[in-house]
Structure 1
Amino acid sequence: MRDLKLNPKMSIEKKLIPGTTLCVYIIDDFLLDAASVINFAYNIAYFNPMFSDNSYYPGKRDNMPQPYLDLLQTFFQNTMLPVLELGNDYSATVHKCLLSLITCEPSSLLLEQKIPHIDSCDGDDYAFVHYLSPAELGGTSIYKYTPENLIQFSEEHRYLLEHMMPKVENSQEEHHGYINSTTSLFEQVLTIKAKFNRLIIYQGNLLHSANITCTKSYSNNPKQGRLSIASFASIKSN
């Protein structure tokens, strides 16, 4: 993966999340050539089973090689921090990059896997999704937790994550599989479509979920299923 390079002709779009002052950043044609990443995914990666990364991700994962993490780190620090308009006194750290393949059928999901989630309660933490499969296999949506009118969760809202579960359990007729539209508890406020070699970036404390709308989206075969790279980073003032 030594030939991994950023595409100098990539495009960066800032999309406002309705009802907030926050944005999702959409980077198209992120890599100059994704062949080495695809080769790793198809021929080299050793996917670990569901829950092995201590998350509720409904599939299997493997760590990406260090060159990918290094490239993302450089891109986030040098290209995206200026776009985020935070000033010059910030630095970024990418913590992990996980090659991710959704494999779980809707009927086998746990309750926690049927609803949107957050990755952190810290607004300085960021999440990335790099799509490596076609658009029809599903993008990502941002949600609002309607009972509390919350899209972005901070530490003071952590208790709500447990309190929402009984409400979900009492409305299982709406939450019987992958969530991909508005329900009585969760309003879908923004949807970003998948596109091969598209990278999206958003704050990790935003309520979000993958859009799994067709049976092709979950598969044990990385050549057929919804393949992506989920990465996580944080920023801090120097």
Structure 2
Amino acid sequence: MNFAHNIAYFNPMFSDNSFYPGIRDNMPQPYLRVLHAFFQNEILPKIDNKNYRESILHKSLLSLVSCKPANLIADQKVPHIDSCDERDYAFVHYLSPEELGGTSIYKYIPKNIIEFKQEHKPLLADIVNEVKKAPDEHQGYLSGSTSLFEQVFKVDAKFNRLVIYQGNLLHSANIFSEQSCLADAKKGRLSIASFASVR
């Protein structure tokens, strides 16, 4: 927490070439080493029906939601995927309390899809366009089911909880309140987002 509160230099929204609705900084290498060792030794052997032998941790980003709902662009109002490859994994390490929101997995109702593969990649632009056609339902952050998206699984935030899931699952942060959008590492929705691949 010392790094987050006193050392991190948060870069502006979009500077990491993602649609994350806030500010970010790279985590120090010691954090990446510990996380990678945990994933390699404790999680990788437990992935069902797979014979994966190695993993690569690509990056870990200290992440603070800062964008107010009224300022979101359409791409930030939809659940997203991090990859179309089931061998890619996403991690969320929550550093704020439950009331600031966890993470949910969604189904894209028109196509009945939760897990995206390469053949589904063209649908991503369609999803954003469909949201633009339903502005009344998608005025800000997604925080539950709509006519386009069904919330199929929800993980509550808890301080120091680590959640790991396949990056090709349609997902979104649960952001309910104005406090979740405070650009203050001591009061806002702070987490660490990490990304890994297995082979």
Cα RMSD after superposing both structures: 0.9
1:221 aligned onto 2:168: no
User: Once the two structures are superposed, what CA deviation does each residue of 1:76-100 show, in whole Å capped at 9, x if it has no partner?
Assistant: 0000012213556510110000000
Q: Do the aligned partners of 2:97 and 2:157 also contact (CA within 8 Å) in 1?
A: yes
3-state DSSP class of the match of 1:51? coil
- C-alpha separation between the residues in 1 aligned to 2:121 and 2:59? 23
- Of residues 143, 153, 172, the one that matches 2:116 is 153
Q: Which residue of structure 1 lines up, in the alignment, with residue 104 of structure 2?
A: 141
Bigger relative contact order (CA 8 A; separation at least 6): 2
Q: What are structure 2's unaligned runs of at least 5 residues?
A: none
1:113 aligned onto 2:113: no
- Of residues 44, 47, 57, the one that matches 1:81 is 44
3-state DSSP class of the match of 1:167? helix
Q: Percent identity?
A: 62
The code of the aligned residue for 1:40 comes to: F
The structure with more radius of gyration: 1
Report the CA distance between 1:165 and its aligned residue: 2.0
User: Once the two structures are superposed, what CA deviation does each residue of 1:3-22 show, in whole Å capped at 9, x if it has no partner?
Assistant: xxxxxxxxxxxxxxxxxxxx
Normalising by structure 2, what TM-score? 0.98
Report the CA distance between 1:181 and its aligned residue: 0.6
The code of the aligned residue for 1:75 comes to: F
Q: Which residue of structure 2 lines up, in the alignment, with residue 101 of structure 1?
A: 64
The code of the aligned residue for 1:74 comes to: A
- C-alpha separation between the residues in 2 aligned to 1:90 and 1:202? 18
3-state DSSP class of the match of 1:90? coil
- C-alpha separation between the residues in 1 aligned to 2:126 and 2:77? 15
Q: What are structure 1's unaligned runs of at least 5 residues?
A: 1-37
Q: Which residue of structure 1 lines up, in the alignment, with residue 34 of structure 2?
A: 71
User: Once the two structures are superposed, what CA deviation does each residue of 1:138-195 show, in whole Å capped at 9, x if it has no partner?
Assistant: 0000000000000000000000001122211110100000000100000000000000
- Of residues 167, 170, 177, the one that matches 2:130 is 167
- Of residues 163, 167, 173, the one that matches 1:210 is 173
User: Once the two structures are superposed, what CA deviation does each residue of 1:103-137 show, in whole Å capped at 9, x if it has no partner?
Assistant: 00000000000110000000000000000000000
**Matched residue count:** 199
Q: Do the aligned partners of 2:14 and 2:20 also contact (CA within 8 Å) in 1?
A: yes
Q: Which residue of structure 2 lines up, in the alignment, with residue 11 of structure 1?
A: none
Q: Do the aligned partners of 2:62 and 2:192 also contact (CA within 8 Å) in 1?
A: yes
The code of the aligned residue for 1:207 comes to: L
- C-alpha separation between the residues in 2 aligned to 1:117 and 1:85? 24
